[in-house]
Structure 1
């Protein structure tokens, strides 16, 4: 096993003193991610079931637990980057994280709120790029943060497939 390069440090270990900050990052990310549900719940309940769904569309109950776990993971990733106050890429990496989180939130408003699979597709394609950019920057600050983003990337790519399917079928 080799040592990490200077450009992509692993970071230092977490300790008990990190627990409040880590929990705050996880809760804040989940709150941001869950915010659209308060505004789009009616559209999810009334409009979404009327759509023709692409193959592999999970049942609606799957999305809440999956997103909660994913937002916890990316919140933890952001915390790992945040705590590296001395790293020159920290601010840029956290800004990229904020952009991708804003795009994530925007998808629900575009797809459900505007009842527009086309708008949802435009947003999620930008989100895919923003997640990859965030991961590239996170990797330079703390590789563990990048690893925590991998399941999120995989799920959003699956959501991209679903969005393309909804756009095509409806």
Structure 2
């Protein structure tokens, strides 16, 4: 049996997890009061489920990536999965910025839909090298699908939160308006 590559396993297992925790700590507290005002899906899971599922998700993604990387049989398969993984992490991390920082539920919903597609496409690629990575990511995909529905529900039921406020729109319109030069008065 091959000895595990401890630095690689540690980086893939805890790198994305720590990035997710740091992002949540940076964005979520400042948006908490805004988030509490939103209408949410009445059947959403209790708040305690979120950290448990995100911990499972990040650790399973990391371990699945490690298993895939160490057992991939072909370079093209490895490159395809690495590309999907990179897109996946970019989408996952951009969602929090768009949702909590920019407060654009509509754009965040589109990001979630793209994330669902990327993760769904990753499962067969993961399964080519080893079945366990794909199996580990199935609960994560189910979690993402439920979060996508919750995001969609908030988008539909909080129209005021999906578009720029009138004052922001007015400010942007003034900024884009051409400058009006008045002719100097000659006296």
Give the TM-score normalised by structure 2.
Answer: 0.76
The within-5 A match list for 1:87-126 is: 87-88=74-75, 89-126=77-114
Residue of structure 1 equivalent to 2:165: none
The within-5 A match list for 1:123-138 is: 123-138=111-126
- CA RMSD, 1 decimal: 1.9
Q: Is 1:25 aligned to residue 12 of structure 2?
A: yes
The within-5 A match list for 1:7-156 is: 17-84=4-71, 86-88=73-75, 89-156=77-144
Q: Partners in 1 of 2:136 and 2:101 — Cα distance? A: 29
Q: Any runs of at least 4 consecutive aligned residues in structure 1 with deviations exceeding 6 A, and if so which?
A: none
Q: Partners in 1 of 2:46 and 2:96 — Cα distance? A: 17
Report if the CA contact (8 A) 1:90-1:141 is conserved: no
Report if the CA contact (8 A) 1:33-1:101 is conserved: no
Structure 1 or 2, whichever has the larger Rg, is: 2
Give the TM-score normalised by structure 1.
Answer: 0.83
Which is bigger in relative contact order (C-alpha 8 A, separation at least 6)? 1
Q: CA deviation at 1:34?
A: 2.3
- Structure 1: state its 5+ residue gaps: 1-12
Larger deviation, residues 18-27 vs 62-71: 18-27
Q: Deviations over 1:64-104 (max 9, x none)?
A: 22201110011000001111354230121122112112111
Q: Partners in 2 of 1:43 and 1:87 — Cα distance? A: 45
Q: CA deviation at 1:35?
A: 3.4
